[in-house]
Amino acid sequence: MTTPGNRIENWLKGTIGFLLAFVILPALPVIFVQTAVLCSSRLVLPLFLLAGFLFRMSRIAGSVAVLLLGGLGGLGFIISVFRLSLADTWHAVFHDSGDIALFADPFYATAFGTTVAAVLGTLLIGWRYRPRPHLAGTLVLASLIFVLVALQIRGRSGANEWPRYTVGEPVPSAMVASGFRDDVLTEVRPSLFVIVEGLGAYTDQETLDAVLRPLLGVDGRHVTRGLIDSAGSTTAAELRELCGLHGSHGDVRKADLDLSTCLPRVLAERGRDVIALHGFKASMFDREAWYPDIGISRHFFGFDATDNPDPALCSSVFRGLCDFEIAPKVERLLREATEANEASLVYWLTLNSHIPAIAHESLPDIFACKSQNPVFADPDVCALGTIWHGLAENIAVIAEKNPEVGILLVGDHPPPVLSHAGRAAFHAYRVPWIRLHPVRNLDPEK
């Protein structure tokens, strides 16, 4: 005969076991990564609850549901960290994953391990015990957990504030806002355009000034600055700036985009050379395929992007050339174009400030990141500042050696720093641009 005490005990065992297997364990990876994993926080977690009830009907159906949801949660993590669309994430996982050393970084390896452990724990409890919860009590407690996790995740991100555009829609760009595009079209000398990986707009202007200070004091250079909205990943930023359109690399060939106004294509039609350099592999995001579509006539990827026969490598997950190894080749290309009276556009996409940020040992520890009292408490934010300051020094040298070359530098998107404090250091979706005007432009007689 079942007593009230037995009923309460069974209720507690069933409900707690169910919550542990289908709510708490699936929530652990979401809490661990501390990012805006929108799929996980708003869709995947509640669906785990339904998977738990599926186990009551069929172990096989429940197991399949848990495995599918675990994979969807992983996609959500990649979408959040790398600011990719679902289509681009799918492409990155099944096409570009061989180019990325994801497990070279302890954080990503731990995040993956946590997710696998959570899914296996859920499967073990569900398959072996098939806990029978009290329906009303379980729904109330699960809803409370979901709300707490969602609030925590939302509070750590600014994803809900990002601008929303449709593919092919014209969008604001630093190229236009700074006047750089118009000047490039009318210039009779080379120009340099740089998109900086992860360079976001600091919430404190003095911090941005400190990071980019080498660019603010180049002799004879008039400097203008501003902020621009970003939406999406790095390839979205490339289309934003080079073409003035919203989209990503996958849209260049699949969507009905009007690429006729892309700056490289316009320049190419006028017989002008457009050269791109990037320290990573050409196959990543199919750049070697779609760059020519938008008018880039020459491109140098990986080891081809440097003149150094034995270059240093930087970063861990996106391990490629150190940006400072590319700077001398950029300077040479600009100098040769100037000497030949060619109005080339050199486009440099930097690499080393991907998260997790790892500053090369040769870079000066300008922000005391290795000390007990770093300028920036968050390690990623401190390393990013060091990397960007080093890049600014490289570009300042290029500017000093090529005074007639106009230069525009802009961030692609805010850095997906994983801590709440780190993300709070940057605006949710705005990125800075800084333009160094050619010295000759300052002389009204020329």
Is the pLDDT at 388 greater than 70? The verdict is: yes
Within 8 A by CB and 6+ apart from 66, the residues are 48, 51, 119, 122, 123, 126
Give the closest residue to 30 by CA, choosing from 93, 118, 100: 118
Tell me, yes or no, whether 161 lies in a domain. Answer: no
Is the pLDDT at 128 greater than 90? The verdict is: no
* Residues 125, 241 within the same domain: no
* Residues 102, 134 within the same domain: yes
DSSP string computed for 35-69: S--HHIIIIIHHHHHHHHHHHHH-HHHHHHHHHHH
pLDDT of residue 194: 98
Mean pLDDT, residues 328-350: 95
Return the minimum-mean-pLDDT range out of 85-94, 223-232, 351-360: 85-94
pLDDT of residue 39: 40
pLDDT of residue 86: 65
- pLDDT tens profile 404-421: 999 999 999 999 887 778
Tell me, yes or no, whether 425 lies in a domain. Answer: yes
Give the closest residue to 29 by CA, choosing from 149, 179, 201, 136: 149
Tell me, yes or no, whether 164 lies in a domain. Answer: no
CA 149 to chain centre: 23
Tell me, yes or no, whether 167 lies in a domain. Answer: no
Overall pTM surpassing 0.85 (yes/no): no
Mean pLDDT, residues 166-171: 89
pLDDT of residue 238: 97
pLDDT of residue 38: 37
Mean pLDDT, residues 274-292: 92
- pLDDT tens profile 21-67: 767 777 776 665 544 333 444 556 677 777 777 777 788 888 888 88
Taking phi first (over 0 means left), then psi (-120 to 50 degrees means alpha), and beta for anything else, what does residue 115 get?
Answer: alpha
Mean pLDDT, residues 306-324: 93
Mean pLDDT, residues 240-247: 95
pLDDT of residue 215: 96
pLDDT of residue 443: 43
* Residues 152, 202 within the same domain: no
Q: Hey, is 346 helix, strand or coil? A: strand
Is the pLDDT at 177 greater than 50? The verdict is: yes
- CATH number of the domain enclosing 406: 3.40.720.10
* Residues 208, 130 within the same domain: no
Mean pLDDT, residues 346-371: 93
Where in the sequence is the domain holding 29, given as residue range(s)? 4-156
Structure tokens at 69: 């949801």
310 pLDDT band (50/70/90 cuts)? very high
Give the H/E segment covering residue 313. strand 313-314
Tell me, yes or no, whether 163 lies in a domain. Answer: no
Task: Decide which of 94, 126, 156 is a domain's last residue.
Answer: 156
Binning the chain into helix, strand and coil, the percentages to the nearest 5 are 55, 10, 35
DSSP string computed for 411-429: ESS----SSHHHHHTB-SS
Is the pLDDT at 157 greater than 60? The verdict is: no
pLDDT of residue 41: 46
Task: Decide which of 111, 129, 156 is a domain's last residue.
Answer: 156
Mean pLDDT, residues 323-334: 97
pLDDT averaged over every residue in the chain: 82
Judge contact between 196 and 391, C-beta under 8 A.
Answer: yes
